């Protein structure tokens, strides 16, 4: 009996392995697995590109057909990490920008320079900032899929109601702040009609009145939507590090930006703002601060159109470059992109690159970016693309990305920690807990120490590798 | 060991081997590995590199480490007595003979069945400063400016403590089981002696359920030091790190910063802290826990 069980089990295993080997060897198709972080219409747009790729029946060097299969994966950074560590990653992953630096540094990605050379894909095909996002330590670690930039979005109806020209955006932070005051409405106790903060501050006891009243609309809130509080310094000429070994969180531009953030809390009151902010709903909902017309101006990405279209149909809005301090810097923007990378341990890197390079053809990229309603990172764009595009301000976002003042997420290995420190500094500033100079100096000290330790460790690990 | 005993021993090992293998792979190996990694620079993707006590040394000068430790102690210090009073009181109420008691018991137990993520989102609405249920209630009670719970440094931790009290259902059930085991004869004897409610509670009920209290306190200490989900979902550790609990910071260090060695060192410090506290409670329990026939 025992012998029979052992024999059956061994036979089963033999058939299994023979079956697998047979499948691998005889199949005419190479399956490229692709992990996508988006779901919904964004994933649908990528699926359309994959369908197009599969329909073209591309073949690899051995003459086998390449077929891409997409899976939507949430929390891709953590899952990809586990998959790479476990030696079972996908062939291609669509990741966030910051992952490129961290994962490349830790050896979790394959550089694609040789593939790029072979396919004759060069830097001059791209808007510089998006090529730069994919480069780290002199090597290329991926290519962009869909790009993004951020701009000022404003509610034209609220502008009209405040007596402002709805077609003229502010050109400097100072002008912007004055507009924000006119757009901020306070309801005083016992009064039916709300008055603007601009008008309220002309009264002698306005601070008392503000304390008794209730904010019902704000022109602007630096914390709305609160995604990049670390980045305000760039609109004031600041930078977060020198690109090498020095953290520059307490540079003059950053201090000025944090003083500007502080001015909003001083002006409107910490508690008043918090109470008002509590009434906002989730970002992707009609209760969003901007979509529900509670906040008149926001700094948002190219994707905002999609949410306006879905949750605030008919909203009269516009987009333009977010103004800089004194209007000195033109077209400052934060540029982002989704990046296609090949993880270390991918089974079919050559085929994976074939797919990545296909996505980066003008035809596929325009299909993808039109579906996701973004602009393309490629220099060549067809007029049809703009003609078909639903976002009426798509050219504004594209022009911003092309600006020399477009900046990207700092390519630091310790970025996640730095980000948390800066968010903490932001909260301390917003809540008037300490002076910006002091807060940022503390951040600088902490992060400089961390950066030095990480550089030392990564140097030692590099030597070992 | 006789031949028969040996055979029995081997049989026993064989029967328990699935558990033994699982325990070794999923518990013993990770525990030993994390101890080794705590002396390494390790990012998961690259092989670990031995750095001696550097992680432990860095932890001593890490302000977030101390802040998270303080936040966790704060939570445990308030949560344990509050949890004890609340769960024992409710268990005593649920131990009375009232019509529809099964329904009341169910009501108090149901919240502990709600998944933590769903519960946390529900409580985010309850704590909302502008239209939250709690603040509406407080305003109706005559408190004109109730706190903006999750956005206020002074109220974010208390808010999470309040929320945690909501999930005491299982502790209540354990107390209830203990209360039902208190000998009725002792209560009746005390009644005959003219003891009042407090005398009976202090001199009979609490000593008789002291093993249950001891068990629940140990579990509360362990659970309290591992608080994570509520802060991760509701506050992300803010405002101003007031809800950055130890486990949350450990998670951020390990899975966001990829500093697995540093996180392993944190985990071992947490283990030592819990071990010391458990031993302390055990020492106290030797004098104050009464075991029937023990």
**Helix, strand, coil fractions of chain A, as percent rounded to 5:** 50, 15, 35
Which of A108, A341, A445, A457 to mutate against chain B (most B CBs within 10 Å)?
Answer: A457
Averaged pLDDT, B221-241? 91
Chain A residues in contact with B63 by the CB 8 A cut-off are 446
Query: Which of A81, A433, A461 is closest, CB to CB, to B41?
Result: A461
A285 contacts chain B (CB < 8 A): no
Task: Check CB contact under 8 Å for B148 and A271.
Answer: yes
Cβ neighbours of A17 (radius 10 Å)? 10
Q: What is the mean pLDDT of chain A?
A: 91
Q: What is the mean pLDDT of chain B?
A: 91
What are the residue ranges of helices labelled H in chain B?
A: 3-23, 29-37, 54-60, 63-93, 101-109, 116-126, 133-140, 153-166, 169-180, 184-192, 197-200, 206-208, 210-225, 229-234, 246-251, 260-288
Quick one: pLDDT at residue A20?
46
Which of A104, A274, A294 to mutate against chain B (most B CBs within 10 Å)?
Answer: A274
* Distance from the B24 Cα atom to the nearest Cα atom in chain A, whole angstroms: 19
Task: Check CB contact under 8 Å for B41 and A446.
Answer: no
Query: Which of B49, B129, B258 is closest, CB to CB, to A106?
Result: B258
In the structure, what pLDDT confidence band is assigned to residue B212 with cuts at 50, 70 and 90?
very high
Residue of B54, B30, B60 whose CA lies nearest to B40: B54
Quick one: pLDDT at residue A205?
87
* Distance from the B289 Cα atom to the nearest Cα atom in chain A, whole angstroms: 46
CB A435 within 8 A of CB A229: no
Which of A105, A276, A278, A443 to mutate against chain B (most B CBs within 10 Å)?
Answer: A278
Query: Which of A106, A275, A414 is closest, CB to CB, to B129?
Result: A275
Quick one: pLDDT at residue A249?
96
Quick one: pLDDT at residue B238?
82
CB B94 within 8 A of CB B86: no
Q: Read off the pTM.
A: 0.86
More confident residue, B37 or B128: B37
> In this structure, which long-range contacts are made by residues A60-63, counting pairs with CB atoms below 8 Å and at least 24 apart in sequence?
A60/A30, A60/A348, A60/A350, A60/A351, A60/A354, A61/A350
Distance CA B22, CA B148 (A): 47
Residue in A closest to B126 by C-alpha: A278
Distance CA B30, CA A399 (A): 52
Which stretches does DSSP call E strand in A37-102?
65-72, 92-95
Chain A from 344 to 373: CB within 8 A of any B CB:
344
CB A337 within 8 A of CB A397: no
Give the number of A-B residue pairs with CB atoms closer than 8 Å: 71
CA distances from A287 to A9, A160, A224, A404 (A): 60, 22, 13, 35
Which of B45, B52, B57, B236 to mutate against chain A (most A CBs within 10 Å)?
Answer: B45
Task: Check CB contact under 8 Å for B49 and A424.
Answer: no
Chain A residues in contact with B46 by the CB 8 A cut-off are 106-107, 461, 465
Residue in A closest to B62 by C-alpha: A446
Q: What is the DSSP letter of A64?
A: P
Task: Please tell me whether residue A169 adopts helix, strand or coil conformation.
Answer: coil
Chain B residues in contact with A84 by the CB 8 A cut-off are 45
Q: What is the DSSP letter of A322?
A: P
Query: Which of B41, B46, B128 is closest, CB to CB, to A278?
Result: B128
Distance CA A49, CA A145 (A): 11
Cβ neighbours of B30 (radius 10 Å)? 12
A216 contacts chain B (CB < 8 A): no
Q: What angle separates helix A362-371 from helix A40-55, to the nearest 10 degrees? A: 160
* Distance from the A428 Cα atom to the nearest Cα atom in chain B, whole angstroms: 6
Quick one: pLDDT at residue A17?
47
pLDDT tens readout for residues B54-103? 999 999 999 999 999 999 999 999 999 999 999 999 999 998 888 888 88
Task: Check CB contact under 8 Å for A279 and B43.
Answer: no
* Distance from the A194 Cα atom to the nearest Cα atom in chain B, whole angstroms: 19
* Distance from the B190 Cα atom to the nearest Cα atom in chain A, whole angstroms: 55
Quick one: pLDDT at residue B81?
93
Q: What ipTM did this prediction achieve?
A: 0.81
Question: What percentage of residues in chain B have a pLDDT greater than 70?
Answer: 99
A275 contacts chain B (CB < 8 A): yes
Chain A from 319 to 348: CB within 8 A of any B CB:
344
pLDDT tens readout for residues A16-68? 544 444 455 457 899 999 999 998 899 999 999 999 999 999 999 899 999 99
* Distance from the B11 Cα atom to the nearest Cα atom in chain A, whole angstroms: 17
Residues 6+ apart with CB under 8 A from A225: A283, A288, A289, A290, A298, A300
Q: What is the pLDDT along chain A (465 residues), one digit of tens a residue?
A: 455 444 555 555 554 544 444 455 457 899 999 999 998 899 999 999 999 999 999 999 899 999 999 999 988 988 998 899 889 999 999 999 988 998 998 889 999 999 999 999 999 999 999 999 999 999 999 999 999 999 999 999 999 999 999 999 999 999 999 999 999 999 998 888 999 999 999 988 888 888 888 999 999 999 998 899 999 999 999 999 998 889 999 999 999 999 999 999 999 999 899 888 888 888 889 999 999 999 999 999 999 999 999 999 999 999 999 999 999 999 999 999 999 999 999 999 999 999 999 999 999 999 999 999 999 999 999 999 999 999 999 999 999 999 999 999 999 989 999 999 999 999 999 999 999 999 999 999 999 999 999 888 877 766 544
Dihedral sign computed on CA atoms, order A410, A412, A415, A417: negative
Distance CA A347, CA A30 (A): 10
A446 contacts chain B (CB < 8 A): yes
Distance CA A405, CA A233 (A): 12
A263 contacts chain B (CB < 8 A): no
Task: Check CB contact under 8 Å for A274 and B129.
Answer: yes
* Distance from the B275 Cα atom to the nearest Cα atom in chain A, whole angstroms: 30
Residues in chain B whose beta carbon is closer than 8 A to a beta carbon of chain A? 41, 43-47, 49, 51, 58, 63, 128-132, 148, 151-153, 238-241, 252, 255-258
A437 contacts chain B (CB < 8 A): no
CB A151 within 8 A of CB A405: no
């Amino acid at each position: 009996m025992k012998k029979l069980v052992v024999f059956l089990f061994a036979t089963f295993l033999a058939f299994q392995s023979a079956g697998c080997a047979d499948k691998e060897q005889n199949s005419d198709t190479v399956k490229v697995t692709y992990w996508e972080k988006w779901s919904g219409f964004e994933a649908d747009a990528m699926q359309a590109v994959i369908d197009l790729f599969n329909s073209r029946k591309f073949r690899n060097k051995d003459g086998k057909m390449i077929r891409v299969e997409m899976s939507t994966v949430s929390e891709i950074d953590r899952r990809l990490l586990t998959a790479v560590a476990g030696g079972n990653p996908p062939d291609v992953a669509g990741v966030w920008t910051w992952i490129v630096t961290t994962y490349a540094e830790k050896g979790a990605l394959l550089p694609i320079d040789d593939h790029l050379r072979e396919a004759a894909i060069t830097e001059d095909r791209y808007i510089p900032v998006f090529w730069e996002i994919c480069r780290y330590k002199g090597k290329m670690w991926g290519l962009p899929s869909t790009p993004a930039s951020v701009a000022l979005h404003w509610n034209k109806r609220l502008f009209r109601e405040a007596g402002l020209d709805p077609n003229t955006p502010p050109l400097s932070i100072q002008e912007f702040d004055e507009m924000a005051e006119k757009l901020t409405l306070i309801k005083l106790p016992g009064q039916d009609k709300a008055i603007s903060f601009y008008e309220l501050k002309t009264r002698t006891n306005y601070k008392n009145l503000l304390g008794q009243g209730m904010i019902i609309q704000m022109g602007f809130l630096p914390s709305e939507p609160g995604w990049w509080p670390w980045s305000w310094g760039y609109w004031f000429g600041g930078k977060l590090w020198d690109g090498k070994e020095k953290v520059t969180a307490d540079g003059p531009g950053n201090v000025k930006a944090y003083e500007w953030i502080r001015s909003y809390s001083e002006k409107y009151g910490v508690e008043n703002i918090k109470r008002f902010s509590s009434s906002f709903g989730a970002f992707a909902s009609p209760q969003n601060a901007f979509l529900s017309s509670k906040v008149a101006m926001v700094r948002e990405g190219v994707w905002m159109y999609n949410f306006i279209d879905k949750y605030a149909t008919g909203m009269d809005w516009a987009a333009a470059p977010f103004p800089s301090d004194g209007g000195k810097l033109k077209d400052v923007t934060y540029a982002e992109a989704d990046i296609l990378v090949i993880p270390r341990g991918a089974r079919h890197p050559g085929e994976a690159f074939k797919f990545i390079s296909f996505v980066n053809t003008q035809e596929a990229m325009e299909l993808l970016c039109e579906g996701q309603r973004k602009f393309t990172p490629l220099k060549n764009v067809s007029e049809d693309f703009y003609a078909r595009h639903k976002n009426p301000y798509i050219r504004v976002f594209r022009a911003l990305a092309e600006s020399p003042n477009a900046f990207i997420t700092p390519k630091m290995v310790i970025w996640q920690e730095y980000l948390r420190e800066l968010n903490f500094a932001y909260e301390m500033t917003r809540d008037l807990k300490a002076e910006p100079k002091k807060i940022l100096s503390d951040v600088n000290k902490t992060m400089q120490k961390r950066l030095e330790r990480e550089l030392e460790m990564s140097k030692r690990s590099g030597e070992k590798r | 060991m006789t031949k028969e005993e040996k055979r029995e021993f081997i049989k026993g090992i064989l029967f328990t081997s699935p558990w033994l293998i699982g325990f070794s792979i999923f518990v013993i190996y990770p525990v030993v590995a994390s101890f080794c990694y705590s002396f390494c620079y390790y990012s998961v993707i690259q092989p670990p590199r031995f750095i001696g006590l550097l992680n432990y040394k860095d932890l001593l000068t890490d302000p977030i480490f101390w802040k998270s430790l303080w936040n966790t102690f704060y939570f445990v210090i308030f949560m344990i007595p509050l949890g004890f009073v609340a769960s024992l009181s409710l268990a005593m109420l649920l131990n009375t003979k009232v019509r529809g008691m099964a329904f009341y018991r169910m009501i108090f137990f149901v919240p502990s069945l709600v998944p933590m993520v769903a519960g946390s989102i529900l409580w985010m609405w309850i704590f909302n400063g502008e239209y939250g249920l709690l603040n509406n209630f407080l305003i109706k009670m005559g408190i004109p400016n109730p706190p903006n719970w999750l956005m206020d440094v002074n109220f974010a931790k208390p808010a999470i403590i309040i929320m945690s009290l909501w999930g005491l259902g299982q502790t209540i059930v354990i107390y209830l089981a203990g209360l039902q085991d208190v000998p009725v004869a002792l209560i009746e004897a005390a009644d005959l002696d003219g003891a009042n409610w407090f005398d009976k509670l202090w001199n009979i009920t609490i000593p008789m359920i002291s093993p249950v209290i001891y068990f629940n306190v140990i579990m509360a200490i362990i659970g309290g030091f591992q608080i994570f989900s509520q802060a991760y979902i509701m506050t992300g550790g803010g405002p101003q790190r007031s809800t950055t609990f130890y486990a949350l910071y450990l998670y951020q260090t390990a899975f966001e910063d990829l500093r697995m060695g540093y996180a392993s060192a944190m985990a071992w410090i947490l283990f030592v802290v819990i071990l010391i506290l458990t031993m302390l409670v055990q020492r106290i329990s030797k004098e104050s826990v009464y075991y029937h026939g023990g």
